[in-house]
A = this chain, B = another copy of it.
Amino acid sequence: MSIPDFQVLLDETVRNYRHYAQDGKVASYIPELKKGDPRWAGVALMTSRGLFEGGDTRHSFTLQSISKVITLLVALEERGMEAVFAKVGSEPTGDSFNSIVKLETSEQKPLNPMINAGAIAVCSLIPGDSVEERFRLITGLLEKILDRSVEIDEAVYKSEKETGHRNRALAWFLKDINSLEGDVEEVLDLYFRQCSILVDCADLARIGMFLATKGITEAGIPLISAQSIRLATTFMVTCGMYNASGEFAIQVGIPAKSGVSGGILGVVPGRYGVATFGPALDKKGNSVVGIRMLRHLSQVLELSIF
């Protein structure tokens, strides 16, 4: 497939799948998220020959759960694999992302770092003397990957901080079972900040390419060990799409992580970063249009790792 074909493919993809947005709904549990327009649809492909984009790839949105991948990388690098897996497990779960049930009935550790409970536990492992310092480790990595400064959406951050009762319940439960280090409110603050980092679809494709090249920036600088990258992408396969990860593995077959603001970060190991944006979500919290577009691209470009 030649270079111009990528552009044609992405444009076609957006055109043909955009209408599936009508099957989904924009997330409303965080008031600020309701502002997303369900008709937006974008797709971006980062290749060794540069970035290709189709549709609404330059709307800013918040990372939400996609941030879990970044924070996991930081925690693995800063604290090591053993310290991380002392606080969080590595198993997929059939429960929804904000479920608290398994914390009580299973191994008394959040099942994996991609569900909220696990991601909060991972957050607590990020070192630093203040929330600001800890947060800079996360944004620092992102800024090096994207080669630009990043900021958060203050309104979303405040909104999540005020209304995130379920996450607060998870955090206190984690504290009780000794899976959360340090001060609960500080960890939650860090978690809400990382969820509020602003990116666009093109950024996500760049992040995907960073993962696809095992932690090497576009400028050729190695930032993260290949082993940490491998761990993160493995979790993206087994648990990256909430409790629809199994179906996504079958239908699309690439490591991916979705967020409730409508983004999906995809990795085609050794080849591409691929990302989609579309705020209309299905019942499990994944972008309806995003999944359709990724499925199409996976078939046309043979992206499945399976």
- Using A94-B94, A100-B100 as known contacts, say yes or no to A89 and B246 having CB atoms under 8 A apart: yes
- Is A237 among interface residues, defined by CB-CB distance under 8 A? yes
Determine whether the beta carbon of B90 is less than 8 Å from that of A247: yes
| Given A105-B101, A255-B306, A90:B250 Cβ within 8 A | yes
CA distance A173 to B117 in the complex (A): 13
* Interface hits, A108-125 → B, CB 8 Å: 111-112
Give the CA-CA distance A304 to B270 in the complex, in Å: 13
In the complex, the answer to whether A104 meets B100 with C-beta atoms within 8 Å is yes
Q: Which of B169, B233, B250, B253 contacts A173 (CB 8 A)?
A: B169
**Are A234 and B249 touching (Cβ within 8 A)?**
yes
Question: Nearest B residue to A170 by beta-carbon distance?
Answer: B169
Residue of B nearest to A253 (CB): B234
- Copies of this chain, complex-wide, total 4
A306 touches B169 (CB 8 A): no
Let me know if A165 and B176 touch, CB within 8 A: yes
Inter-chain contact B238/A246, CB cutoff 8 Å: yes
Docked CA distance A173–B176 (Å): 14
Tell me if A92 is interfacial: C-beta within 8 Å of chain B: yes
Which residues from B are CB-within-8-Å of A30?
A: none
Contact flags A228-251 to B (C-beta < 8 A → 1, else 0) = 001101110111000111110110
Q: Report B-chain residues with C-beta under 8 Å of the C-beta of A92.
A: 91-94, 238-239, 245-246
A91 B245 Cβ-Cβ under 8 A: yes
Contacts of A91 in B (CB 8 A): 92, 94, 243-247
Does A305 sit within 8 A of B, measured CB to CB? yes
Selected contact of A94 from candidates B95, B100, B234, B250, CB within 8 Å: B95
A73-113 contacts to B, CB under 8 A, are: 89-95, 99-106, 111-112
- Kindly list chain B residues whose C-beta atoms are within 8 Å of the C-beta of A166: 172-173, 176
A231 to B249, CA, bound (A): 9
Q: Which of A's residues lie within 8 Å of B, judged by CB?
A: 89-95, 99-106, 111-112, 165-166, 168-173, 175-176, 184, 230-231, 233-235, 237-239, 243-247, 249-250, 253, 255, 269, 304-306
Q: Pick the 7 closest A-B CB pairs, nearest first.
A: A92-B92, A169-B172, A165-B176, A169-B173, A91-B246, A93-B94, A168-B172
Q: Apart from A94-B106, A165-B173, A305-B306, what are 18 other A-B pairs with CB-CB below 8 Å?
A: A90-B249, A91-B247, A92-B93, A92-B239, A94-B102, A99-B104, A100-B101, A100-B169, A165-B172, A165-B175, A165-B176, A166-B176, A169-B170, A230-B253, A234-B253, A234-B306, A237-B238, A237-B249
